[in-house]
Structure 1
Amino acid sequence: MELITHRPQWKDCLEALSVDVIAQMCRRLGLEKTEGLEPFIARWKQRLRERESDWSRWEQQAMELLTWQVGEQPLSDTDLGRTATHVQLSPARLRIGLSLLAGRGLVFRLRLPGGERVYWCPREVREAYLDGSIRPCPLPGTDAAGENRLVGVWDTLFYFLVLMEREGLPLTKEQRIPQPLRRKWSAELELDSDGLRGTVWEDETGDAAFALLLELGRRLGLIQMEGRSAKLNPPAVAQWLLLSWSERLEQLFAVVEESLLASHPQHHPLWWWLKQQNRSDWQPWEETVSAAWRDRSTKGRVITQSEVADILHQWMSLLTWMGWIERIEEKENPLWRWSPWVSMLKRGDNGWKGRVQPDGEVLLPPGTPLAERWRLAQFADYMGGEQLTHYLLSPDAVKRGAQSGMTVNEMERVLQELTGRPLPTTVTHSLQEWAQPRGARLESVWLAQFDEDDLAQEWGQCLHEWPDWGRRVGERSFALTEGGAEAFQRWLKERAVPLAQGKTGKKAWWWRLEEEQKEYQSQSEDPLGAWRVEPPELRPEAAIPGWSSLPHMWTRSLRPYHESTLREVFRQAARLELDVTWTDSKGCLQQITPLFVTAEGREWIVQGRGENGNELSFSLSEVSQVGIFPPWKE
């Protein structure tokens, strides 16, 4: 089956259905279509949690299968036979159960670009069903003194994007970050990949942290891969910077959740159980593992307590590295908890303001708007920090901001918005001094201007020798041709003279975040991605491919047949994965889902599975009467 990285949400799938289909689903719940999809989803969540349903046995078993066995992955037609054995259901009756659930708007028939058709049960449906299956009791908390670490993957991703904007990101032919750049950025970002051991991002290069950041950036639409380089998508970055902290963290957690479940799709119930422990009390690790295993969060799947411990350890190591979870590594029994600082950030503006020290150090509290931090990062160097974020105004950083087109007044305005107070006099003087241009600058109209007489005189002599390059238009100014502009840049590089690009009248994209955000919203992708939702089959026989091609006499009653016809009955049933009811010479009624019909000497042998999933085998000579009854009937 094709690899799927995007999982459609419940509402997106429903919105892809026709108005008539939605109206019919709403009527079955006693709702009017005009009430919208929110009441429909809310009503179903309530019914799933409270186990209010008029489901058939096959629907119940199909939902159990989707929740406990299939989990966070689509179910393809080719996997139905193998998967059905987990719930002691024949493939045909599993199809009927899935079809009936699709008619209720709980399961969807999707088609991939390559034409493959799959069944998909959205995560919200499964989690509501789990909520009615398990009532996990929150574990008792314990007192402990842990470190207050306020930074998380949201900060690391932010600084990673800043570096990409500032320096660009070339890639090797294997789509990896070159080793020299990786070392440099690892130091600047204070990256440590130890918490990513055993995850899908770990490889022999030790590049796990960067692989994770690139994947998060791609999944959020912030980063685009173009050949042997990775580039920012300014409209998407603008949208991300302008989100509230609550929206940003929820969006990022959803992407992390999808990445985790992509490698363990069948363990979604265990992940759901872990999320139910969302409280700020410290909890013992051993008790967490025991409770997860004891609470039937692996129902229907043979899994040991040590396997549960391995999965939780891998997840928690990653979540700790990202900042979602905090841990205290005690020798006998480590403690853990969901980070209380994430909840604090989600609550929004806490009224805290930053501070600018006279020596140029900038201190920012948690929850500072990322759009303001992005502008600060253009003319200040990030210096780390675990509770307060530290930046430093330095000559090189301020010069970098000036070369990007920022004026001293704009830098001062950014700092005042962050602090809400006047700046120290030493800081304003430093900004004015450091932002002064040095060397030469090249205007967009190919106007070359020097700040020093000696350099201007030397370049003037070059133009005297090469008049095609341009001409002098002032004491330190020269108008250059296109070839002259290229020669001018080579000449400066040979002399190690810094070159500043002149102003073009258009600000960098990060000064126009609201405009970029509008562009992003206008080019938003289809929420279904590559999936296409097909309308549910309202006739049960339509869920069984090939049913209409069977002779009517085979499907109406038990009848005796010639041996050649018997072979054909069982072969067709095996091909269509249908159940066959038959009686032996004593009149005993039996049922089988045939898999093979093979010759052994003069006998024809039928092999298959019985009603309980047990293996069966018998000779056609034992069959007295046979029939293939509709699988949607008891």
Structure 2
Amino acid sequence: MNHAYFLTRMPQTLRLQIEAESVYAPWLKQGETLERIFANPAIMETVYNQMTLRERKVLRLIVSCIGCEPFDAARLEKLAQPVMSGADAKVGFLLLLRKGICYTFRKSWGEHVYVMSPDALALWQPILLEETAASGGETAAELTVTGGAGLARELFYTLVFIRDHPIRLTKSGALHKRQLQKLVELSSLQDEWFTGTGIKYAYADTYPYSIAVILEFLTRLGLLDKQGEEMPLKDSAVSGWLSLSEEEQTAVLYRIWQPVAFPGAVWLQHAALWLERRQEGQWIQAAELLQWLFAHQLVQSDAAEEDGAAVIDMLERQWLFPLIAFGWLEKGETATGKVCYRWRIRPGKDGFSSDEVDAGGGRWYVQPDFEVLVPSDVTLAARWELSYFADHIKSDHVSIYKLSKEGVQRGLESGRSLEEMAGLLADHAHYGLPDNVQLTLEQWAKPFGRLQFEQAVLLRCRDQEAADTVRKLTAAADCLAEELGERVWIVRPDQINRLTGLLDKAGWMPGKLAISSGNPAAASHSSEAEEEGGKENIRSGKAPEEPWRPEPGDKGFIYARHAIGYFEMEQRLPNVAELYPDLNGIPTGWMKDYRTYHASTRREMVEKAMEWKAALQVRHNGKDRLIAPRKLQETRGTWSMTGLDQAELQEVCWLADDVQEMKIILPGINDKY
């Protein structure tokens, strides 16, 4: 859930409130939007430079100690206690909320919960946590652990299987065991890569991690359509998905996976985001990452070797192993045994960046022995169409497909003609279609369609009188396709309702249509027409007029770690004055006049400051101090105040007579002292 997601959920009143912040005015006047402003590091660094000191302190606490985990006001206040007053923290945080740095949600019982988006954390990391000097040393390493061809390919082969073997569910909503086993065999994902992620999902006692992960992506992308106990593919969505390059698909898949398995510990979040900013194809030593984590005190450790090993082990299990499984990351080892990693495909600013841009111009090789050699640069859209009539044998750097009589029959039954199949092979072939292959395809296809099974709707009359009545109804002639005998006709599927009405008016009662499995011809007619446009784009190899962009859904197969997606976003944010209840109920002099008050009045001021978690300007031993009172207690006939000296960041404890002049300081109201 990134900035764009939260902004789509944001009430218009709140958006207008954020847009009214003066800090954004220069860019909004230039036609920028909040979406683009929040994604621009240069703009947000300028915004940071214009923040107040208390805003910066609170922002640093959130970035360093919370990250993008949901939190409440009590947690933030506890984190802020050693460095600032509670009121300072509340005001600083409110100013951040009004700038859209974090988002406010309201639980059903009214309690507020806050969250920073992962892309915001990624943006603030280099601004607030500067880079440390590189450790240097070895840059060469030997590859030790790598994944498969890539998640995009993994999903592609799954889609082909589901297309050819539609998913059928049990009454409990689970996959049938035989089909589940086939999907497990098809997948190259290994369960051990995901055991450390802590993900939870339905049917966990039946489905291995690999299947849950695949179903998560298919569900989020909207590629499956739940229809009772069946779950067919949504052809239009599949067509759109296959129109994207593998690079674009991988970018979408990463944006789906990140919120599903993003670590909860803030240091793990920062480690993951730090790795995202490393260059693709270059080895990154784990020691360099540890040095950065320790330097910013994100991990509390003496940097002992065993501590570092434990940190890296946790990072691998919770975050890196799935990335390796998806083919995005690789693990290696230097000559001296140091662990390192490198991106095969690196997540960039707008998704994934790669030097290998899929231009969509890849071609395959059709061999005289009926094998089709498909290099990695052939688009998935072309592979999808090829898979209708060619059997996938294996995949490596080059995928191998095999043409067969059974495959050609399968393609013909799916609605492809011989000309379309031969044309696809020839159009994408480096050296055209061998003559023997063309001739054999024609021979295999020749018998198809000369005999054909069809389902039909019959009008059957029990006696001759009824049959004569039908013949006399001239209006009924258009509803009948063919007469099969003296008392039987084939009815046109799209004219059943009209014929029923005509027979009713004639005094006959034909009753309900009596067929056990419906009429596939009628049922499929509209769906074929609806989806033919998307299929035609794939068959012809043409890109859609407008690029398809998936909109991942809020709910997937894997359970969300947090319920924040179900909460309602707050409509508006309060003003600073609303943070201080009964502000008008105290003497204005307490906030204006810096002077000596009666002991009882000083006590009342301390109590009020504690209620508001505000600070007091006091004179102690002839020196002005800013104290955030934390405790007031009776001491030998008088009282004492314990609090935080906000300049020295030290706790002080003074008796009533130790304090001379006094004034309440309310952040955002009377900041100067």
Task: Please indicate the TM-score interval, normalised by the length of the shorter structure.
Answer: 0.7 to 0.9
Cα drift, residue 321 of structure 1 = 0.4
Aligned-pair distance for 1:65? Answer: 1.5
Name the CA shift for 1:226/1:588 in 2 (closer, same or farther; >3 Å): farther
Change (3 A) 1:514 1:625: farther
Please name the residue that 1:324 is paired with. Answer: 328
| Rounded Cα–Cα distance in structure 2 between residues aligned with 1:207 and 1:31 | 49
Answer yes or no: is 1:289 the counterpart of 2:299: no
Moved more, 305-314 or 112-121: 112-121
| Structure 1 residue 586, shift from structure 2 partner | 10
1:393-542 pair list within 5 angstroms:
393-419=403-429, 422-428=432-438, 429-430=440-441, 433=444, 436=448, 441-443=453-455, 445-446=456-457, 473=484, 479=490, 485-486=515-516, 504=525, 507=528, 511-513=532-534, 532=569, 534=571, 539-542=575-578
Are 1:592 and 2:667 counterparts?
Answer: no
Q: CA deviation at 1:14?
A: 9.6
Aligned length: 589
Letter in 2 for 1:631: P
CA distance in structure 2 between the partners assigned to 1:383 and 1:483 by the alignment: 45
User: Which stretch of structure 1 is more off in the superposition, 367-376 or 570-579?
Assistant: 570-579
Classify 1:583/1:344 alpha carbon distance in 2 versus 1 (closer, same or farther; 3 Å): closer
Work out the CA distance in 2 between the residues paired with 1:298 and 1:7.
Answer: 29
Q: CA deviation at 1:252?
A: 1.7
Q: Does 1:338 align with 2:343?
A: yes
1:168 is aligned to: 166
Residue number among 302, 308, 311 corresponding to 2:311 in the alignment: 308
Q: Deviations over 1:62-120 (max 9, x none)?
A: 221122222123443343223324x62333212222233345x3514433574554444
- In structure 1, give the amino acid aligned to 2:444: E
Deviates more, 1:419-428 or 1:512-521: 512-521
Using the TM superposition, name which of 187-196 and 333-342 deviates more: 333-342
Gaps of 5+ in 1: 449-459, 461-466, 490-498
Output the amino acid matched with 2:140. Answer: T
Change (3 A) 1:141 1:623: same
* Superposed CA offset, 1:351-377 (max 9, x none): 430123334333322233222322333
Instruction: Render the CA deviation track for 1:139-177: whole Å, top value 9, x for unaligned.
Output: 652164789977111111222233333333345688654
Q: Distance in 2 between matches of 1:521 and 1:403?
A: 28
2:536 and 2:366 map into 1 onto residues whose CA distance is 30
Going from structure 1 to structure 2, the CA distance change for 1:292 and 1:172 (only over 3 Å counts) comes to farther
Residue aligning to 1:134: 130
CA distance 1:161–1:603, change in 2 (3 Å): farther
Counterpart-to-counterpart distance in 1, 2:84 and 2:597:
27
1:73 aligned partner = 69
**Looking at CA atoms only, which structure, 1 or 2, has the larger radius of gyration?**
2
Deviations 1:409-465 (A, max 9, x none): 33333333433654334544347626825986334x5379xxxxxxxxxxx9xxxxx
Matched with 1:250 is 251
Q: Name 1:456's counterpart in structure 2.
A: none
Question: Which of 91, 99, 110 is residue 96 of structure 1 equivalent to?
Answer: 91
Q: Is 1:267 the counterpart of 2:268 in the alignment?
A: yes
Asked whether the equivalents of residues 329 and 344 of structure 2 are also in contact (C-alpha less than 8 Å), the reply is: yes
Out of 569, 583, 586, the residue aligned to residue 548 of structure 1 is: 583
Counterparts of 2:526 and 2:551, CA distance in 1:
29
Q: Which residue type is aligned with residue 258 of structure 1?
A: P
Amino acid corresponding to residue 343 of structure 2 in structure 1? W
Q: CA deviation at 1:616?
A: 7.5
Distance 2:373 2:522 in 1: 31
Alignment partners' CA distance in 1, 2:425 and 2:582? 72
What corresponds to 2:377 in structure 1?
A: 367
Q: Can you list the C-alpha shifts for 1:474-525, whole angstroms capped at 9, x where unaligned?
A: 8xx9848986642899xxxxxxxxx999974863766432899899979969
1:132-281 equivalences under 5 Å are 132=127, 133-135=129-131, 141-142=139-140, 144=142, 151-171=149-169, 177-201=175-199, 207-223=208-224, 230=231, 232-261=233-262, 263-264=264-265, 267-281=268-282
Measured in 1, the distance between the counterparts of 2:359 and 2:293 equals 40
Structure 2: runs of 5+ lacking an equivalent: 302-307, 347-351, 461-466, 468-480, 492-509, 538-543, 555-563
Between the aligned partners of 2:372 and 2:345, the Cα distance in structure 1 is 25
For 1:442, the aligned partner's letter is: E
CA distance in 2, matches of 1:589, 1:352: 73
Secondary structure, counterpart of 1:280 in structure 2: coil
Q: For the structure 1 residues 71 and 514, does the alpha-carbon distance in structure 2 shift closer, same or farther, using more than 3 Å as the test?
A: farther
CA distance in 2, matches of 1:502, 1:408: 25
Relative to structure 1, the CA distance from residue 433 to residue 487 in structure 2 (aligned partners, 3 Å threshold; closer, same or farther) is: same
- Read off the aligned partner of 1:546 and give its amino acid letter: P
TM-score by length of structure 2 reads 0.70
Give the fraction of aligned pairs with identical amino acids, expressed as a percent.
Answer: 20
Q: Deviations over 1:218-268 (max 9, x none)?
A: 333434667766554444433322223332222222222333325445533
Query: 8 Å contact 2:239–2:535 — kept in the other structure?
Result: yes
Shift of the 190–249 alpha-carbon distance from structure 1 to 2, 3 Å rule, reads: closer
Please say if residues 139 and 283 of structure 2, whose CA atoms lie closer than 8 Å, have aligned partners that are also in contact: yes
